[in-house]
Amino acid sequence: MLNYEESIKRLEEIVSLLESGQLPLEDSVKLFEEGAKLSAGCYEMLKSAEQKITNIKDLEETED
């Protein structure tokens, strides 16, 4: 599984390839599907990071 930075880099590559308009339709669809999965994975990673930050803030507030 790719980490967040690797996923973003791959998404950028996919966007570039799709924007080029040089790929056959079947390849474009496969890349789009890959991009959608990567995007969902990035969203989950960000959501998880946000939850960790919220937990840390809550913990700090209870310690004060």
Task: Look at residue 63 in the predicted model and tell me its pLDDT.
Answer: 78
Task: Look at residue 59 in the predicted model and tell me its pLDDT.
Answer: 86
Nearest to 38 by CA among 9, 60, 17, 58: 9
pLDDT 10s digit of each residue in the chain, 64 long? 899 999 999 999 999 999 999 999 999 999 999 999 999 999 999 999 999 999 999 888 887 6
Structure-token match 């989950």, residue found? 44
The domain tally of the chain equals 1
Task: Look at residue 62 in the predicted model and tell me its pLDDT.
Answer: 85
Task: Look at residue 60 in the predicted model and tell me its pLDDT.
Answer: 85
Range of the domain at 32: 4-63
